[in-house]
């Protein structure tokens, strides 16, 4: 049976979206946002090189630790609310993230 989680996203206009995402496909949050027709730049295509896909985490779920690349990119970027900012391209969607709430970060819209 396919495991599906709910992710709650607030877009740049303040609109709230709840999306359902399968966890057996290895998707990251950026891919799930795009697959649900929400705008997110993600200029580098998920390589943790631009920070244009950053999100602000609004609740405390069992987030995986940041990679060195993600942490370095967030340190170099401005207007980010570390430790609550994450790169959506680096957040693999797993059952532990069911109920995750995020806001799209400034500069993420297309």
**90 or 110, which is more confident:** 90
CA-nearest of 70, 69, 55, 68 to 100 is 55
Query: Per mean pLDDT, which of 16-20, 38-42, 51-55, 66-70 is the most reliable?
Result: 16-20
Give the alpha-carbon dihedral of 83, 84, 85, 87, to 10 degrees: 90
105, containing H or E segment: none
In a domain, 57, yes or no: yes
The total domain count for the chain is 1
Span 54-72, mean pLDDT? 87
Average pLDDT over residues 9-24: 95
* Residue span of the structural domain in which 92 resides: 4-104
Decide: 103 and 76 in contact? Cβ < 8 Å. Answer: no
Average pLDDT over the chain, rounded to an integer: 88
Q: CATH number, domain at 14? A: 3.10.20.30
Q: What is the mean pLDDT of residues 53-73?
A: 87
Q: What is the dihedral of CA 81, 88, 69, 46, to 10 degrees?
A: -140
Q: Is 16 a member of any domain? A: yes
Per-residue pLDDT, averaged over 22-48, amounts to 91
Domain contains 110: no
């Amino acid at each position: 049976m396919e495991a599906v989680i709910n992710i709650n996203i607030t877009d740049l206009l303040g609109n709230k979206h709840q999306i359902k995402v399968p966890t057996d496909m290895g998707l990251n949050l950026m891919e799930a946002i795009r697959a649900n027709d929400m705008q997110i730049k993600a200029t580098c295509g998920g390589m943790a090189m631009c920070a244009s896909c950053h999100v602000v985490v609004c609740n405390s779920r069992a987030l995986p630790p940041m990679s060195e690349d993600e942490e370095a990119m967030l340190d170099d970027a401005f207007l980010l609310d570390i430790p609550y900012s994450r790169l959506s391209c680096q957040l693999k969607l797993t059952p532990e993230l069911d109920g995750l709430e995020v806001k799209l970060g400034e500069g993420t819209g297309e």
